Each structure stands twice: as structure tokens, then as C-alpha cells.
Amino acid sequence: MIEDLLAVILISSIFMSGVRRVKLVTRVFIFQSLAIGLIALKLGLDTGKMDYYILGLLTIVTKVIIIPIIINKSLNQLKVNREMDLIVNGFISYILTGIFIMISFGILSSSHDNYIKTGIALFIIGVLLMVARKKAITQMIGFLTFENGIVLFEISLTKMSLVIEAGIVFEGLLLALVMGIMIFHINKTFDSINTDFFENLKE
Amino acid sequence: MQYNLFYVMQSILILVLSPLFMGILKKMKATLRGYKGASIIQPYYDLNKLLKKGRVVSNRSSFITTIGPIVMLATSITTVFFVPVIFTTMQNTIGNLFILIFAFAIIKIFTVLIGLDSSSTFGGMGSSRESFISMMAEPLTLFLLTFLYIETKDFNLFHISFINSNITHYDMAHIIVMVTFIISILAENARIPFDNPETHLELTMMHEAMILDLSGSDLFYVELSSYIKLIVYLVILINGFIPIGIATTFTFSALLIGFLAFVFKLLFCLLGIAVIETTIAKSKLFRSAELFPATISLGIIAITLIYIL
Amino acid sequence: MLSLFGFQNDWLSIYFVLIVILIFIPVAIYTKGYIIEYKKHYSIKYMLLLIILFVASMIGVILAENGMVFLVFWEIMSSSSFFLVIYEYLHKENLKSGIFYFIMTHISGLFLMVMFAFLFKYTGSFDFKEIARLSMNFSPEQKYIVFVLALFGFGAKMGIVPLHAWLPKAHPAAPSNVSALMSGVMLKVAIYGFIRISFVFLINTPLYCGVIVLIIGTITAIFSILNGLLQNNIKKLLAYSSAENIGLIFAALGLSMILINYNLKLLAALALTAALLHSLNHAIFKSLLFLNAGSVLYATGTKNMDELGGLNKKMQFTSICTFIGTCAISAVPPFNGFASEVLILRSFIESITMVHNVWIIILIFSCGILVALTSGAAFYATVKSFGITFLGKPRTEKAQYVKPIPLSMNIGQGILALLTIVTGVFSPFIIKKLSYYTNNLLNTSENPPSFINETEIIVFTLMLIIITLIIYMLNKLNSRNKNTEINDTWACGYHSDQPYIQYSGSGFSEPAAKVFGPLTNYRKKVSYKETIYISEKTSDIIEDHLYKPILKVVDFLTTKILSIHYGKIQLYLSYIFISLILALILVLKFL
């Protein structure tokens, strides 16, 4: 069951790397976070430790419910639909995702811990989304994917402290709130959230 | 001896029933869209009408148009005898996956050349797009062969379905490769999102563009060949990936269960195709070509799931 | 008796000599008709002499048992092929291509000389049998040095990336029968040399050698075919396609070397058999396609696809032969390309399951994906070449007034087409024989399994033929009382007599140009004369980024060194004397 969920996470990450519609990207992100939450809950069921239950619940509440509400509110205000102009075009980004996942799995093949491997794959996808996209919303979702990867990484650590966990989750929540407000202001000033216009601030 | 006779008969069953299955597909699409639609035996009437007409041939066409449609239909019929339908066995039979997949290359090369033969713009356009899409779809057939070999260490479709016939729980890698093969089916048989099989507008044609200039008995051969090709691809999907219920012994109950399972699975696949064709629109050539790198990445994930995870 | 002169009859040599002779006979018959065209401006006796010298030297290279004999015949082969490439010297660009080819082939000869020198230093003899016996005691560094020299030496002759830039220039420049010999046979001689070094001399090379060969082979294949897809010159497209197939053979050889390292001897024999079989098949169908291009050139005077079209009406036999060649390249059963393509894919797939190193699995899998992509692209390229040239309407007057083709040319092509079909249908028997020998070479103790089920291909072919005949009879029966009307193309009611509403060659491959354009430096230029003209251009990016800078550096150095030439004889004599003394001192010191 856990293996299947990890595979679902990987598939969703490939999907996210190439689609153009921002609403679709958020939906895939919701799916991915749900899978992570379910993994945490199932681990809690298996081991009985309270930490996993709380982690799972927190992940689901913040990343599946609260953050998408924030993102959708921003999207409705901005009337943004698609990302037309990708820095790395769809073709190459799909292949790059696959190659990176394969290489990262190859490097870590000696360890038997599946969560670290998937976590690193999610890191890479998050960085790709942040670097290779122009619209601020997609970059934000990239950072949140990166956070998902950190959560997975954390699950694999045997000694988990609730404080660190809560800290990370709330950081993600705060980031989403702040980015939501910032994007609204950026849009008001520049009339678009295409980050190309930031270059005008240079002089 | 009885086994051989039955084996031939199960293949003839597909041959005879493939227009019926196409009719069922069109009826499903019509029902999903909310109108009554033609009856399910309408393709038989259409094929009969084509057979009765004379042909019109372009004055620039060559031996490709003369012998092409006949060879295409012959190839389709030959491939039917290479797949298991209801009954499978571990004995040494024909049914090598390589011959099957490359036999479809015969159909592909004739279709593309018929498109160029007609010396019209539409033909060239269809041929160029079809060659491009099938060039990008080649790695997907490699995935099919690789993963079926990894699971069963054999290349014969009969043996594969025999070995896999008791498995009920499929792991994620299997499902991923199945999805990849479904995309390959859609690409090779000119279904949405690569091509719209019902259109006659030049912007959206691919397969239709190549056979635009054929008429009469030529068109009959090509249409029947494409019906059979789609059904054979679906049979490969069903019996290669989800062969539960297929008859492995030659008893009456096993054969009955095999027959019912086959029909049920085939109808389910046709329903799936009908749903895809109703909900998604045909995408631009380069957008649909972007689907292929995504599926290549999926295949890469599948192999990492098998070996590394 | 032959061994007196330094010749041997190892099975590998006999196999490749068979390939040479099998291709030479149809090409010779073809030449009889083809050279009539050259009677006016060039000397025919010259060409016949050179061709005989060329083929004899190739047979000499393959049968040589001694390093010296090998090098002598290699040099004769290089020189005679150079003179053949510049045979049509009245066209200036042929001379440029010829000189480029001359330089590359002598670079390969240089590397081979150094390689044989090293082998002599390590074993003390030039005799192949001695070297094979003593080579088991080489250290890995020695094996690596010999391997790298062989890679460059034979690679420059084979046309692997990055030493491939001469191939698309030299093969179109040569006359078509010579192109068929060069592309079909000479590249195989280089393959023979590489197999002899890597598999007979250096058994069990280090792992990274096999990895390098596999990567270079795959990159050659994908790079060449994507470049070839966008060409409009028929012979250039075929030359790039040759480079692609050589890349495939090389990749199969690399796979075999990797598998020997993991002691998977049976699979290594499969990969080696695949490479050898593909050499034979490629020789046959590539020579066929080059002879067809020669017929087209003879009949119409142009090699540009965009000016041709509709040739099937006037050159019926040639178009059927080209169709058979196209089917063979695209791995359509039951022609011969199918068997070798299946074997190559099989060796890739089976080795993924048997190797246990993660990185090697990733490497083989990625190369497998690229190999599948190249076979799809080869289909695209050759269908473009056949379809645009032979089908449809003639695009210019050059395709309308067609010279009749002499019978000998037709016979030559027909023999090769027949060979394609025969080697395809009887491929399981050839594979059985070959696998017996390769298993002996690699010392696997078991009986090799049948690599393709023999009965299946024959059953498939027979079923296909029988069902085709049945449908044909039914068709005749059906159309007894119906007429077949021959009229203009319908094209949805859009009637036009203009030939340029058809797709042109560049238009046909445009989707690939859009996606893979950056790999080939694809540029489109729009210019206005009396109407809008669009012209497209591709160029070889390795040539632009690797060769041109090297040439610039060499140019710069030579202008600097030029200053020591004063023109006085005494100065030159003293230079020679000084360098002789220096060489003697070096030899005495380091020997």
C-alpha cells in the first residue's frame, strides 16, 4: 500500500512538471499532499506512534484544505489560466524529470529507505518548478512541493520531534499566506504576475 | 486436433465480430453524448455498401494503391491468428510479440505510402503527421516488450497470458506500463487525442487524410483492416496485462468463463475509449507529441519501481 | 597454402569476405550499364581498374593474418577509394569532399599503425595468431591503450561521432556504384577490424571500454538519423542512414563487451550475433538503395528529392526495388531488416533483466529507448525518400523526361532485392549458424538456444502470402461487373493540376525539424524575389563546433611555422640532418 502511494507521488510529480494550466497543477499538488498524508497515517497505524498521526493530520489539513483555498482565492482574483511561455519547454522538462528521478534513484540505490529516495525526487521537481517557470504562482507551488519532499525526508528519520514537524508545517502555511498577499500586490502594481517584469526593477 | 480447430475458430471469431465491436463503440459514444446513434450492426451495412461500389483511382497512383489495401487486410487477418483470445497454452505455438508488433509496421508503411501516392496535399499532410507520431511512439512498444519480458521471461503472448493468468493484484509498475500501452494504442489507431476518427476537416485529419482518395473495395479493405487492428491491439492489452479468467485448460466451464471474461473486458475497454473520446478534445500535433516524453518518463519510473524501489 | 602469404581462414574473415563478394557481384553487373554515362568526360578503364583494386584490397584486409599485410592492404584500400571519390573531378565540390575524406582515412591509418606498433611492443610479433595467444596476459592499461587506438583508428573509417563528418560529404560525391561499395562494404571492413581487436585479441576488456562503445554507438545513431531526416539530397540522406546503422552495430558491440565483463556469455553471444547479422543485412539493403539512387540520377540527372516525383510510372522496376529496400530498412517482416532489429532489441531487453548493477541497467535502458527512437526515425526518413521521389506527380520537368535504364542496372538491383527477401525469410538459419560460431568464440559451454523461432517467420510469411492471394482472387471475383475509373486525384473536390500542391520533401519532415531542429542547426530563411521563397538549411553541429576550431588552430600554427621556410635548399638539408640525429638519439635512449 505504501509502495503504491509512493508510486502515485512520483507519477504526480512527472505530471506536474509539464502541464500548463495552473488550476491543474494545484489539483495535482492536492493529490500529492493527500498521498503523503495517507502514508503518514498508515505509518501511524503500523507503528502506533502518535507523531505520525499528527503529522498526517497536519499535512492533510494544511496542504489539502487550507493552502488550496488560499491559492484558489488568488487565482480568482488574478484570472490567470495558463502558463504559456515556459523557460524549459514541455518536451524537455518531462524528459529532464524522468532522467533526474532515475539518476537520483541510482545514486541512492544502496540505501533501502524508500522515503529518502522519493523525498529527493520531490526536491528536484520542486526546484525545477521554481527555476523553470515564469509565473509566480507556479513558483510558489514548486516551493510547496519542495516542502512535501522535506516532509517525506522527515518521515524516514526515526527520531521525530513534534516541534520540528509543527514548525515546518506552519512555515509552509505562513509562506502560502504571505505569497498570496504578495501576488495580489504584484498584480496591482504590474498588472501581471509574469516575473519577467521584475527585471525592470534593476535600475 | 480439436485444440487446433478451436484455436483457429477463436481467431475467426474476432475477425467476424470486429465490425460489431466498432458498432458497439460508436453506439456507446452516441449514448454518452445523448443521442440515439446508429444501430450496432451499421458497420456491416457500410462495409457491404463499399464492396458493391466501383473504385475511382487517381491517374498518378502506382502499385502501392493497387496492392496496398489487399496486403493491409491480409496482414491484419494474419495478426489475428497470433493472439490468444479465450484459450491459451504453454505449448510451443506461434505468437511471438516481436512479429506481432512489427507486422503492424507493414500496415503503417502501406498507409503512409498510400497517403503520398494520392498526390494531394491532404495525403502528404496525413503521412507526415502519422510518421512523426509513430516515430515518437516507438519507445512505448519497447516498454511493452521490456516489462512483459521482465515479468514472465518470455516473448510469446500465449505463454505470457498463461503465466500471468492467476495474478489478481497488480503492482504499480504493471499499472504504469498498462497506461503507457493504452497511450500507444490511442496513437497507433488514430484515436483522440492524436486524431479524430470522425472528422473530415483538414486541420484535424491524420488517418483519414491518408486514405482520403480511396474508394469502393479499396476503402473496404482499409476500413476493415483498421477495425481488426484496433481489436487486436485491445486483445493484446487484455491478454497481456489483465489475463484473469482466460481459459488455460480445455474444459467447457473454463472456456465459458474465458469467453465471458473476454467479452466483459473488451466491452470495458471500448467504454473507456468512448469516455476518452467524449471528454477530451483532439490536441494540436505538438501538444499531443508532448505526451510522449511524459510517457517515457513514466516508463523510466516503472523500471525504477521494479529494480530500485 | 594461403597462410604462406599471410592470409587466414578464420570464420570471421570468411563471413566478411562473403559479404564483400555478395555485394560486389550485383554492383559489378550494375556498373556495366551505369558507366555508359561517364563515357563522354571521364575514363572508364580508370574506374574499372580502381574498383577492382578497391575490392581486392578489401578482401586482402579481411583475410590478412599479419599486421604488416593488414596495413599495406588498408593503405591500398584508402588510396583507391580516395581516387574513386574524386572520380567526377569536373565538379569542384567533389574535390573538396575527396580531400576531406583523404585526410580522415589517413588519420585512421595513422592510428592503426600506432596500434600495431604497440601490439608489437607488447607481444613481439605482428602475427595475429601469436597476438591472440599472448593477449590474455595484457594488463588492463595495455588493453586500454590498444582499445583507444583501435577506437579512433577504426572509428574514423566507420563514421562514428565525432569522426563522422566525412561520411555525408564523401558518399554523395562518389559515383553511385562506388557509394554502394563504400557504404555497404568498406564500413563493414572497419567493423571487422574492430571486432577482431576487441573480441579476438582483447577478450575481457575493462568495463568502461564497453560503456564507451555503447554510448558512442547510440549517440551516433540518434544524431545521424535526425540529421538525415531533414536532408533533401537522396544520397546524403542515405549516407546519414548508413551512419545510423553503423551506430546501431557499434552499440550492439558495446553491449556485448559489457556483458562479457559480467560473465553473461550467452547474452554476449546474442549481442555479437545481432551486430554481425545487421552488418550483412545493412550491406545488402544499403547497397540496394544506393544503386536505386544511382538509377534515379542516371534517369533524371538530379539527386534533389524536391525536384522529382512520380517516377513510378516511368521507372517501374526501380521503384519496386526501392520499395523493397525501404521496407527492409524499416524492419518490416519478412525482409531482412526485421531479423537484425529484433535481435538487437532482444539483446537490450534481456540484458536489463540479467545485469545487477544499477548504473548499467540505467545506461542500457536509456540506450534502448534511443535505439527504439532511431528505428522510428529511420522509418520516417526512408519513407520520405521513397515517397517523395517516386510517388505523386512530377514536380519539375527533370522528372518528366526520363532516360530509359539499361538492363544490366535493373538486373543488379533485382539481385540485391531478391537477396533482401531471401536473407529475411531464411534469417533463422543464418542466425543459427552465426550463433554457433559466436558461442565458440566466447567459450560458452551450452548449446545456444534458438534465437528466433524458425518456424514462426516462415509461418507468418506463408500465411501472409496465402491470405493475400485469397483476397486477391475474391477481389477479382468481386470486381467482375464493376468498373475501375481512372481520373484525376479527388482531394476532397479540390482539383488542381499544379504539382506543387503536393508535399515537398522538406515539408514532409517539418514536424521533426520543429522538434529536433536545434540538433541540426536548422535554419529557415525567407527571401523575396518575384514571389516569396523559403529556403531551409541544415548543417552538422559537430563539424561547426569541433572541426572548424581545430582547423583554425592548425591554420594559425602553420602560418607561424611557415616563417622557417626560406626557400634555400641548404637550410632544408640541414633541417633533415638535424631531425635525423635527434630521432637516432631518441631511439637509442628509450629502447
> Is A71 part of a structural domain of the chain?
yes
Clarify whether residues C33 and C118 are in a common domain.
yes
> Is C486 part of a structural domain of the chain?
no
Give the model's pLDDT for residue C6: 47
Spacing of C-alpha B92 from chain mean position? 25
Q: Is residue B270 pLDDT above 60, yes or no?
A: yes
Smallest CA-to-CA distance from C275 within C217, C332, C330, C329 is with C217
Retrieve residue C288's grid coordinates.
Answer: 540496394
> Is A164 part of a structural domain of the chain?
yes
Domain holding A63, by residue range, is 2-197
What ipTM describes this predicted complex? 0.92
Give the model's pLDDT for residue A160: 58
Q: Which of B296-300, C199-203, C253-257 has the highest mean pLDDT?
A: C253-257
What is the rounded average pLDDT of the residues C132-137?
A: 77
Give the model's pLDDT for residue B201: 67
Domain holding B207, by residue range, is 2-307
Contact present, C34 and C50 (Cβ < 8 Å): no
Instruction: Give the whole-angstrom CA distance, residue A142 versus residue A133.
Output: 9
What is the rounded average pLDDT of the residues B30-46?
A: 89
Share of chain A above pLDDT 70, in %: 81
pLDDT in tens, C434-464: 888 877 777 766 666 656 666 778 888 888 8
The DSSP H or E segment spanning B240 is helix B217-241
Locate the chain A residue with the closest alpha carbon to C366.
A99
How crowded is residue C455: how many other Cβ atoms within 10 Å of its Cβ? Answer: 13
What is the rounded average pLDDT of the residues C221-237?
A: 90
> Is A171 part of a structural domain of the chain?
yes
C358 touches chain A (CB under 8 A): yes
Clarify whether residues C303 and C197 are in a common domain.
no
> Is A30 part of a structural domain of the chain?
yes
Last residue of a domain, one of C186, C205, C224: C205
Q: What are A's interface residues with B at a Cβ cutoff of 8 A?
A: 3-4, 6-8, 10-11, 14-15, 18, 90-92, 94-95, 97-99, 101-102, 105-106, 109, 114, 117
Question: Given an 8 Å threshold on Cβ–Cβ distance, is A109 in contact with C362?
Answer: no
> Is C495 part of a structural domain of the chain?
no
> Is A202 part of a structural domain of the chain?
no
Give contacts of B287 with chain A, Cβ < 8 Å: 90
Clarify whether residues C190 and C298 are in a common domain.
no
Locate the chain B residue with the closest alpha carbon to A115.
B309
Clarify whether residues C149 and C59 are in a common domain.
yes
First to last CA, chain B: 47
Contact present, C189 and C78 (Cβ < 8 Å): no
> Is A203 part of a structural domain of the chain?
no
Instruction: Give the whole-angstrom CA distance, residue C274 versus residue C272.
Output: 5
Give the model's pLDDT for residue C528: 83
Q: Is residue C152 pLDDT above 60, yes or no?
A: yes
Beta strand C532-537 with C523-528 is antiparallel
Q: Is residue C381 pLDDT above 90, yes or no?
A: yes
> Is C529 part of a structural domain of the chain?
no
Share of chain B above pLDDT 70, in %: 95
Burial annotation C302-330 (CB, 10 A radius, 16+ → b, else e): bbbbbbbbbbbbbbebbbbbbbbbbbbbb
Q: Which of residues 157-196 of B touch A (CB under 8 A)?
A: 171-173, 176
pLDDT greater at residue C90 or residue B230? B230
A98 touches chain C (CB under 8 A): no
pLDDT in tens, A57-116: 877 888 888 777 877 777 777 766 666 666 667 778 888 888 888 888 877 776 667 777
What is the number of domains present in chain C? 3
Give the model's pLDDT for residue B191: 85
Q: Given pLDDT bands bounded at 50, 70 and 90, which one contains residue C394?
A: confident
Question: Given an 8 Å threshold on Cβ–Cβ distance, is B300 in contact with A99?
Answer: yes
Instruction: Give the whole-angstrom CA distance, residue C502 versus residue C482.
Output: 30
Instruction: Give the whole-angstrom CA distance, residue C410 versus residue C292.
Output: 9
Contact present, C274 and C340 (Cβ < 8 Å): yes
Largest Cα–Cα distance in chain B? 61
Q: Is residue C269 pLDDT above 80, yes or no?
A: yes
pLDDT greater at residue A153 or residue C453? A153
> Is C81 part of a structural domain of the chain?
yes
Instruction: Give the whole-angstrom CA distance, residue B110 versus residue B113.
Output: 5
Give the model's pLDDT for residue A12: 85
The DSSP H or E segment spanning B58 is strand B55-58
Locate the chain C residue with the closest alpha carbon to A98.
C366
Q: Is residue C40 pLDDT above 90, yes or no?
A: no
From B99, B138, B285, residue closest to C375, measured CB to CB? B138
What is the number of domains present in chain B? 1
A60 contact partners, CB below 8 Å, separation of at least 6: A33, A34, A37
Beta strand C484-487 with B55-58 is parallel
- Indicate the range of A47-56, B129-138, C321-330, C488-497 predicted with least confidence: C488-497
Alpha carbon of B254: minimum distance to chain C alpha carbons (Å): 28
> Is C138 part of a structural domain of the chain?
yes
> Is C431 part of a structural domain of the chain?
yes
pLDDT in tens, B48-88: 988 888 888 888 888 888 889 999 999 999 998 888 888 77
Write the DSSP symbol of residue C500.
G
Clarify whether residues C565 and C461 are in a common domain.
no
Q: Given pLDDT bands bounded at 50, 70 and 90, which one contains residue C8?
A: low
Give the model's pLDDT for residue A173: 75
Q: How far is CA A111 from CA A100, A108, A148, B309, C363, in A?
A: 18, 6, 21, 10, 20
Instruction: Give the whole-angstrom CA distance, residue A7 versus residue B210.
Output: 40
What is the rounded average pLDDT of the residues C490-503?
A: 74
Locate the chain A residue with the closest alpha carbon to B172.
A4
Domain holding C65, by residue range, is 1-205
Last residue of a domain, one of C460, C476, C492: C476
Q: Given pLDDT bands bounded at 50, 70 and 90, which one contains residue B205?
A: confident
Q: Is residue C279 pLDDT above 90, yes or no?
A: yes
> Is C531 part of a structural domain of the chain?
no
Spacing of C-alpha A154 from chain mean position? 15
Give the model's pLDDT for residue B308: 64
Instruction: Give the whole-angstrom CA distance, residue B25 versus residue A138.
Output: 39
From A91, A92, A98, residue closest to B300, measured CB to CB? A98
Give the model's pLDDT for residue B3: 66
Question: Given an 8 Å threshold on Cβ–Cβ distance, is A7 in contact with B172?
Answer: yes
> Is C47 part of a structural domain of the chain?
yes
Smallest CA-to-CA distance from C279 within C307, C256, C248 is with C248
Residues, chain C: 591
Give the model's pLDDT for residue A192: 66
Q: Is residue C5 pLDDT above 60, yes or no?
A: no
* Backbone Cα Rg of chain B: 19
- Indicate the range of B96-105, B180-189, B190-199, B250-259 predicted with least confidence: B190-199
Give the mean pLDDT of chain C: 85
pLDDT greater at residue C90 or residue B23? B23
Give contacts of B296 with chain A, Cβ < 8 Å: 94-95, 98
Give the model's pLDDT for residue C320: 92
Instruction: Give the whole-angstrom CA distance, residue B103 versus residue B204.
Output: 27
From B173, B289, B294, residue closest to A14, measured CB to CB? B294
Instruction: Give the whole-angstrom CA distance, residue A58 versus residue C576.
Output: 86
